[in-house]
Structure 1
């Protein structure tokens, strides 16, 4: 590999087959450092979230009948961006050197003296069958596997695939990019001696939430695929291992498999909910209906933190409030020790966890994760001599400060942050709702309800979609808008919200 200046300029990164969790750690690090990210069609959109906000994103995806950019122009683009001094990541589906044309891109970079590094990825040749419950090798069925292109170069003329040898291989055959040629692949194998009754399978969108698999024999697989409407992108598996799917299928058994769920939480907080839903098989559409920003007037928070020793109680109602408080404390060169003399109270286990991350372990947490529950908890603890600081969202309900004041406390209710609507991606969500592609929408706060409805414009778009609320306050906001949630979390946490979906959506056919 050439090194023109000792600095790596281009990373050829395998994004894996679709499941964002299959990206390697080295691949993620490369994305996080990129100035320019050039990515393919079959790259999970979730991986783009690892890029810095200022990173330039360039889509060069290809379908069998349309190329956004031909390969030679992609090569030229990589050279151009690298020579301009950018750290460039070429993010390719699967592995860049397994039918990914990564070798051609490396050659182009080498010709121009540009440094590059190759970050292998999980190939769909192994991962797609695995997610379908098909091991490409098995002690009792196959001691080898062969990966073959199903889409040979148009200029080759005669096939470079030695069908007479391939048909006699005893192991598993895996064909990539072969759906258009499936009839010819099956015919060539049978013509050259393979048993027509050999098990075969086709896995579409392997490792993605919308994965579909059909199984048949070599002589009938084309008919089954056509009947089921299976199209690109798909992996073709031929061999005795395909028969193991009936016993080993696992993805389809997940409780939310085949369900599409919208997550409306702020982007920086959505990952935990999204990951929990995806772990249970759901396809997640992230639509961050809100984002968290500093309060309209940040001075009261700064003054409260600077005078924190005057308070006997400090109350937090959300993880956002905790993070905002400690960000302000850090700007004043304070840390968790600033709360050493105060009692700390919180609403919810998420808020408690945020406090723990900042070094606060002793926290009073209400049994009911709402303002009313916290008031009940503090009723016999807060008195007339106490000064209470509440750090929470701007324009929050007045229940907490009002009721604590009734207990005789002197209450300072300060805005630690505010939320505002985010409309980015609204058109795509509207299209998905109109097409009937959404099964459920989750709401984690009243502001996610208000802002989603503002972005959609028409509440009727949510008709026929199951709505899920994290707690009674959010449920009240939904009902005030004329919307009835299918379920409310029994525990007002992300885990409780996920459990509500599993309890009501799990196992239902779409």
Structure 2
């Protein structure tokens, strides 16, 4: 239907669309319906996963042929084994004449970022895999290339290899965080528990913008506040020049980076994500009579305006966005933790924590989360998590997603 209407449609298959999938059936139906299509060849997992594990399938002078399945020929053999059938598959190969000392490897989660390899002589492989407590579908690879895997396997040497990490951050802010985790070998699961919604431009917003030429200091509490405030300026046919009379303060480096994206450099960037920390950073500033504007979330702590007002400042809090929990977050989280769960749960703000916790029955939360570690981007978020009954084990010293990735990597290295 979509293709007939002129849309371009992509159908994704694991590996190759014409191997171990129903891609040929889909292609046949499209051809019969008179719809143009193109089949793009892919790499089947039997060929891809060994490469990701550092196992060459052919080696000049040692292995020139590849067999798939329970074959008697082939100097290298690749065999899919379902969970619970490892020992049967290995026994069948031995009974078919494979020498017990044949170099062999089991690859768990083949083709995935969290794939794991166990290597041993064929006759010892099942016992070694059982020692590690491994389970699930796997690829069995045997042949001389297995002996090279320790040297050629770069994937398993990444610091977060095999770690399943949950990102709860708002979807539009995920990309740099996800890329850095994946580059370090993590298997990333994204379930945003936060959605940023811009509030309408009402009289309060219009008055705040109108009075910017008399505003001495604008304090941005988050990158979201920066981006949405500038959207409001653009909608009002204004731009950054409207702030020419104002000094700018950014709470955290990510907020400062957001301002830089609009061509602005703040006079002050605080490293602490607390009202008290900001007040201390402004200690040398004469605040009496100063007009201060704070664009921020609709719901936030009121400590900052109180602290600044106590020093004589005229503080206006300007809510520019609301932070809500996406409707799909709760069922997605329940499915995740009913299944394999994750090793690390990351929180980048108090809102992500609150919305996450609300997805689960309070009395069952510890049992549901199991051994998953809680990692927070700074002490304020960590404090919110602890108040909600979560045991926080990782807190970033640098309050950015890069700092959070570093903290997770350091914690993993200590294990």
TM-score (norm 2): 0.83
Q: Is the 8 A contact 1:392 1:415 kept in 2?
A: yes
Distance 1:486 1:195, change over 3 A: closer
Cα distance in 2 for partners of 1:366, 1:432 equals 36
* Equivalent residue for 2:196, pick from 289, 292, 299: 292
Distance 1:326 1:297, change over 3 A: closer
Instruction: Note the residue ranges of structure 2 that are not aligned, 5 or more in a row.
Output: none
* Equivalent residue for 1:92, pick from 4, 13, 17: 13
Q: Deviations over 1:320-357 (max 9, x none)?
A: 10111111122123233333332211001111111122
Distance 1:110 1:460, change over 3 A: closer
More relative contact order, 1 or 2 (CA 8 Å, 6+ apart):
2
* Equivalent residue for 2:400, pick from 490, 493, 497: 493
Structure 1 residue 346 corresponds to structure 2 residue 267: no
In structure 1, the residue corresponding to 2:165 is in which secondary structure? strand
In structure 1, the residue corresponding to 2:119 is in which secondary structure? strand
* Equivalent residue for 2:383, pick from 472, 476, 479: 476
Cα distance in 1 for partners of 2:351, 2:82 equals 47
| Corresponding position of 2:156 | 252
Cα distance in 1 for partners of 2:108, 2:126 equals 14
Q: Is the 8 A contact 1:149 1:178 kept in 2?
A: no
Cα distance in 2 for partners of 1:309, 1:122 equals 60
Cα distance in 1 for partners of 2:23, 2:166 equals 35
In structure 2, the residue corresponding to 1:383 is in which secondary structure? coil
* Equivalent residue for 1:214, pick from 114, 118, 121: 118
| Corresponding position of 1:102 | 23
| Corresponding position of 2:357 | 453
Aligned positions of 1:107-122 closer than 5 A: 107-122=28-43
Cα distance in 2 for partners of 1:222, 1:467 equals 34
| Corresponding position of 1:364 | 268
Distance 1:387 1:271, change over 3 A: same
| Corresponding position of 1:379 | 283
* Equivalent residue for 1:319, pick from 205, 210, 223: 223
Q: Deviations over 1:368-425 (max 9, x none)?
A: 3433222222232353353222111112112222222333332221001111123524
Q: Is the 8 A contact 1:134 1:248 kept in 2?
A: yes
Aligned positions of 1:298-313 closer than 5 A: 298-313=202-217
Structure 1 residue 132 corresponds to structure 2 residue 53: yes
Distance 1:102 1:316, change over 3 A: same
Structure 1 residue 235 corresponds to structure 2 residue 139: yes
Distance 1:479 1:100, change over 3 A: closer
Matched length: 408
In structure 2, the residue corresponding to 1:456 is in which secondary structure? coil
| Corresponding position of 2:105 | 201
Q: Deviations over 1:465-488 (max 9, x none)?
A: 432322232233233334442232
- Once the two structures are TM-superposed, the CA of residue 460 in structure 1 deviates from its matched residue by 4.3
Q: Is the 8 A contact 2:68 2:77 kept in 1?
A: no
Cα distance in 2 for partners of 1:335, 1:115 equals 47
Distance 1:422 1:491, change over 3 A: same
Cα distance in 1 for partners of 2:388, 2:297 equals 21
Instruction: Note the residue ranges of structure 1 that are not aligned, 5 or more in a row.
Output: 1-79, 152-162
- Once the two structures are TM-superposed, the CA of residue 253 in structure 1 deviates from its matched residue by 3.4
Aligned positions of 1:330-345 closer than 5 A: 330-345=234-249
Distance 1:302 1:284, change over 3 A: farther
Q: Is the 8 A contact 1:251 1:257 kept in 2?
A: yes
- Once the two structures are TM-superposed, the CA of residue 97 in structure 1 deviates from its matched residue by 4.4
